[in-house]
Amino acid sequence: MRVNLKDASERLLVETYLNHILTAQSDEELNFLKHKLIHTYEVVEAAKDLVKYTQPALSQRDEMLVLQAALLHDIGRVYQFSEGRYVPDADHGLMGAGLLKKAMPNNKTVIETTKWHNHSPSEKDPNEVAFYLNYVRDADIIANVRHNTDNLLTVFKNLKNIVKKSELNLYLDDELIAAAKEKRSCIYKRYKRESFLQVILQQIGWKYNILTPAGKLLVKQEKIFVRLRDAVIDKLVDVLDGSIQEKQDMKKLIFELYPDEVLNED
Ligand SMILES: [Fe+2]
């Protein structure tokens, strides 16, 4: 993963992030920006993989638009903090689109994919960019799942200092269990973070949010959700709060909720 400052889109991204990093008003903001910049390049990697998995191959123009849209999708994250404090309701898609409208007013695809990428797919998706939007959403999911699988304990350690003690338990709510059994992603009316375990396990349900044929193929071939499940069982459960018996029971339950044959299903 390397930055290419000869490319105008990369220059815009890096310049925008660097300016905000240099003026960050809290350690939390600084850390957030660092992680989002790394995340962005992981999404680009995932988008490149999706391009490779696409049959028949994308045209050069489409490939370029997919990669550009992936690169710029989270540019609005630089506005997620105000005076050093996280603003949960700030719509980073919308704010990113506003920035792009000024910086590259003729690139409608990138403006619109950025604007809509953080919303669930719906009839509101602008038709002309839906194709690229689906690539961005899939790349975002794949990058997050890969990152959390490969860095699960680091992600956990970073969060451990900021989450409440109660979030280190082995709690899973009814919606997560129902979603796993019904083979769908979780739907929360009001999302309430009750355990870190639940936050991570819920991501296995993102399997059902993958939209492109290339994404479905990649997920299957690289077994990304099987690997996430195994990382949770092999690494995470042991470091959470609970007795040996409770941890064993939880590992068994996770296996039952997310068996290989379901995770490898089309
Ligand atoms: Fe993202």
Question: Cα of 208 to ligand 1 centre, how many Å?
Answer: 18
What residues pack around ion ligand 1 (CB closer than 5 A)?
Answer: 74, 140
pLDDT (tens place) for every residue of the chain, 266 residues total: 788 889 999 999 999 999 999 999 999 999 999 999 999 999 999 999 999 999 999 999 999 999 999 999 999 999 999 999 999 889 999 999 999 999 999 999 999 999 999 988 777 777 889 999 999 999 999 999 999 999 999 888 877 766 666 678 898 989 999 999 999 999 876 556 678 899 899 999 999 999 999 999 999 999 999 999 999 999 999 999 999 999 999 999 999 999 999 998 88
Q: What pLDDT, on a 0 to 100 scale, did the predictor assign at position 190?
A: 59
Query: How far away, in angstroms, is 186 Cα from ligand 1 center?
Result: 19
pLDDT of residue 165: 67
Give distance in angstroms: CA of 154 to centre of ligand 1: 19
**Cis status of the peptide bond prior to 213, with omega within 30 of 0:** no
User: Where do the structural domains in the chain lie, given as residue ranges?
Assistant: 1-138, 151-266
How close is the Cα of 58 to the center of ligand 1, in Å? Answer: 22
Looking at domain 1-138, its CATH class is mainly alpha
Residue 193 has a pLDDT of 67
Q: How many angstroms separate the alpha carbon of residue 162 from the centre of ligand 1?
A: 22
The pLDDT assigned to 194 comes to 75
The 3-class SS string of 151-206 reads: CHHHHHHHHHCCCCHHHHCCCCCHHHHHHHHCCCCCCCCCCCCCCHHHHHHHHHHH
pLDDT score at 166: 67
Confidence (pLDDT) at 191: 57
pTM of the model: 0.93
SS3 string, the chain, reads: CCCCCCCHHHHHHHHHHHHHHHCCCCHHHHHHHHHHHHHHHHHHHHHHHHHHHCCCCCCHHHHHHHHHHHHHCCHHHHHCEECCEECCCCCHHHHHHHHHHHHCCCCHHHHHHHHHCCCCCCCCCCHHHHHHHHHHHHHHHHHHHHHHHHCHHHHHHHHHCCCCHHHHCCCCCHHHHHHHHCCCCCCCCCCCCCCHHHHHHHHHHHHHHCCCHHHHHHHHHHCHHHHHHHHHHHHHHHHCCCCHHHHHHHHHHHHHHCCHHHHCCC
Q: How far is CA 66 from the centre of its chain?
A: 16
183 CA → ligand 1 middle, Å: 24
> What is the Å distance from ligand 1's center to 149 Cα?
16
Rounded distance from Cα 251 to ligand 1 centre (Å): 29
What is the per-residue pLDDT for 163? 65
